Chains A and B, each alone.
Chain A
Amino acid sequence: MKPDLNTALMFCAQEIGTLFLPLLEKEYDQSRLGSWGGLMLLSSLQIDGAADNLNKQNNLMMEWLKRSKKSIQAKNLIKKIEECESFKPPNIKISTLDHFNQKLRQIFVEAQEDLEGSRDLEHLKESWIVLREMHGHRKISHMLDLLQSAD
């Protein structure tokens, strides 16, 4: 078994901070390289779960769109949802999942807008639960402390 990409990134971030940073004389260069080190450390912690996070987001949106479809008025929008229902990603590359994620997000926005028009509070409330959960899968702001300590 070869070392993982995330492990390599983590050691690289550590070396930036401990080995290369002290060699720089200018404060600006030190701060800039230090920031790169911190952001690389953060990336190393995120990279392993990136595809899984996207997949979970996509499933959450798809399930909500399916449930809400019966309450949506716009026929064109219903058609777009049905197209997504029958879509099978050709692979599980991050770029493929992200492309589908963006498509679903656009439809999600249109669906929310439609339901706001009809004041369908039940499905709207569900949509915010979905958005909250999606945000949880994607956010990295909770790692702010780690980033500050790496500076």
Chain B
Amino acid sequence: MNNEAQLGEDFIKYYSDLNQEPFSLGSISRIFGGASRETYRLSVFNKDLDETRLIYRRSQASALIETDQLTEYSAYMAFQNSKVPVPKTIAIEESADSLGAPFIIMEELLGEAASPFDQAAYSPYEEELGHQFWNILGEIVIKDTNDPNLSFIPGREFEGPSWKRELDHWVEVIRQDSFGVEPILEAAIRELYRNPPKDAVKKCLVHGDYRNGNFLSKDDSLIGILDWEMAHIGDPLEDLAWATSPIWCWKDHNRPSYLIQKEKALTIWQEKTQIKIEEESLAWWDLFACVKGLAIWTSAGNEFISGSNTDPINLFSAWIPGDIHLEIILETLEEKLIKNET
């Protein structure tokens, strides 16, 4: 029996115990992409042969960025049956006792996830999906952070400025995982510490990786926001800057996440959140997005070089997105230097 078949057998035993009725396994298949979790799609049947389609997300022995399963599960719990579409949650196991690694189980949403580098991925529904995408980000910002489901989300206890918590965290990842020196990145880090942004207008829930590729759509409907493992309490501008970063619209910089025009996106976000964007602070978060991105790509490269996870996605991440973020930093800091001269 291969690993996947064994995993399916162990899973169905767990799932039957959980539901206190017998289930049988229809199929199990691993989904490619995303190196922080092993994600499987399963089809299971009850004794009346009713089918349920599930998603089983299991921690990797070596995870790209160390995150807690509880963080992601808490965010999904907080948005069940809300204006922020998420999969229906079923179970979480934080220990490795049941199936050899911590995991969460959700119902599968039947939609499509696109590559963030495919500029035609949402054609011809960019307009409809764009409005939903930016309105949903606004909904996340206005979510009551006192929701008991969010009590385990990181960052709540931090009393200092959100920018410092985030910058310190990602610089630490870079220091731990870098195999080499990158002067462009180092210059960006110095610039961010030298000129911090204003304090957050409010502290809110931050998705942490809100962008194209991390949501499911079906025709003109956005049916699920996924990948909440980096969620935390922080500055609302963080997700906004990440989602509008040119890396996610590399061939059309004015159409973030390859949806609607940036100006329109920012208007929708401001109307929904009732927050007026402070341009200099947003510019800080734009540059921060590059540093955070490079921390993630550096970490991916480290996993690959050290041999702890040789998934080709780690090699791709270190090569291509890393280059793009360096190029964005180059453009930003060159422009800043020219401004300082005049």
Residues in chain A within 8 A of chain B (CB atoms): 26-28, 31-32, 35-36, 39, 42, 102, 105-106, 108-109, 112-113, 116, 121, 124-125, 128, 131-132, 135, 138-141, 143-144, 147-148
- Cβ of B327 and Cβ of A141 under 8 Å apart? yes
Chain A residues with CB below 8 A from B180, complex form = 102, 105
Interface size class of B (residues with CB under 8 A): 35 or more
- Cβ of A109 and Cβ of B341 under 8 Å apart? no
Instruction: Beyond A42-B319, A141-B327, list 19 extra A-B contacts (CB 8 Å).
Output: A26-B4, A26-B30, A27-B29, A27-B31, A28-B30, A31-B32, A109-B183, A109-B186, A113-B190, A125-B337, A128-B330, A128-B334, A131-B330, A132-B330, A135-B323, A135-B326, A141-B250, A147-B320, A148-B117
Which listed residue, A31, A106, A141, touches B320 by the CB 8 Å rule?
Answer: A141
- Cβ of B29 and Cβ of A39 under 8 Å apart? no
Of B156-164, B257-265, B309-317, the one with at least 4 CB within 8 A of chain A: B309-317
Known contacts: A32-B312, A106-B181, A148-B118. The answer to whether A128 contacts B319 by CB under 8 A is no
Chain A residues with CB below 8 A from B182, complex form = 105
Nearest CB of A to B104, in Å:
19
Which listed residue, A27, A105, A116, A125, touches B183 by the CB 8 Å rule?
Answer: A105
Of the candidates A28, A42, A124, A139, the one having the most CB atoms from chain B within 10 angstroms of its own CB is A28
Which listed residue, A39, A112, A116, touches B315 by the CB 8 Å rule?
Answer: A39
B contacts with A: majority SS: helix
Nearest CB of A to B32, in Å:
3
- Cβ of B32 and Cβ of A32 under 8 Å apart? yes
Residues in chain B within 8 A of chain A (CB atoms): 4, 29-33, 115, 117-118, 180-184, 186-187, 190, 250, 311-313, 315-316, 319-321, 323-324, 326-327, 330, 333-334, 337, 340-341
Chain B residues with CB below 8 A from A102, complex form = 180-181
Which 9 A-B pairs have CB atoms at the shortest separation, nearest pair first? A31-B32, A141-B323, A35-B312, A28-B30, A105-B181, A139-B323, A109-B186, A106-B181, A28-B32
Chain A residues with CB below 8 A from B324, complex form = 141
> CA of A139 to CA of B319 in the docked complex: distance in angstroms?
8
Nearest CB of B to A150, in Å:
12
Nearest CB of B to A62, in Å:
14
Which listed residue, A28, A39, A125, touches B316 by the CB 8 Å rule?
Answer: A39
> CA of A131 to CA of B327 in the docked complex: distance in angstroms?
10
Which listed residue, A31, A131, A147, A148, touches B33 by the CB 8 Å rule?
Answer: A31
A33's nearest neighbour on chain B, judged by CB, is B312
> CA of A131 to CA of B331 in the docked complex: distance in angstroms?
11
Known contacts: A109-B186, A148-B117. The answer to whether A121 contacts B312 by CB under 8 A is no
Which listed residue, A28, A116, A139, touches B190 by the CB 8 Å rule?
Answer: A116
Chain B residues with CB below 8 A from A128, complex form = 330, 333-334, 337
> CA of A141 to CA of B325 in the docked complex: distance in angstroms?
10
Which listed residue, A39, A132, A143, touches B312 by the CB 8 Å rule?
Answer: A39
> CA of A88 to CA of B115 in the docked complex: distance in angstroms?
46
Which listed residue, A28, A113, A140, A144, touches B117 by the CB 8 Å rule?
Answer: A144
Nearest CB of A to B98, in Å:
23
Can you list 30 A-B contacts (CB < 8 A)? A26-B4, A28-B30, A28-B31, A31-B33, A32-B311, A35-B32, A35-B312, A36-B312, A39-B312, A39-B315, A105-B180, A106-B181, A109-B181, A109-B186, A116-B190, A121-B340, A121-B341, A125-B337, A128-B330, A131-B183, A131-B184, A132-B334, A135-B323, A135-B330, A140-B323, A141-B320, A141-B321, A144-B117, A144-B320, A148-B118
- Cβ of A112 and Cβ of B187 under 8 Å apart? yes
- Cβ of B118 and Cβ of A139 under 8 Å apart? no
> CA of A113 to CA of B118 in the docked complex: distance in angstroms?
38
Nearest CB of A to B178, in Å:
10
> CA of A113 to CA of B181 in the docked complex: distance in angstroms?
14
> CA of A31 to CA of B315 in the docked complex: distance in angstroms?
14
Chain A residues with CB below 8 A from B334, complex form = 128, 132
B191's nearest neighbour on chain A, judged by CB, is A116
B334's nearest neighbour on chain A, judged by CB, is A128
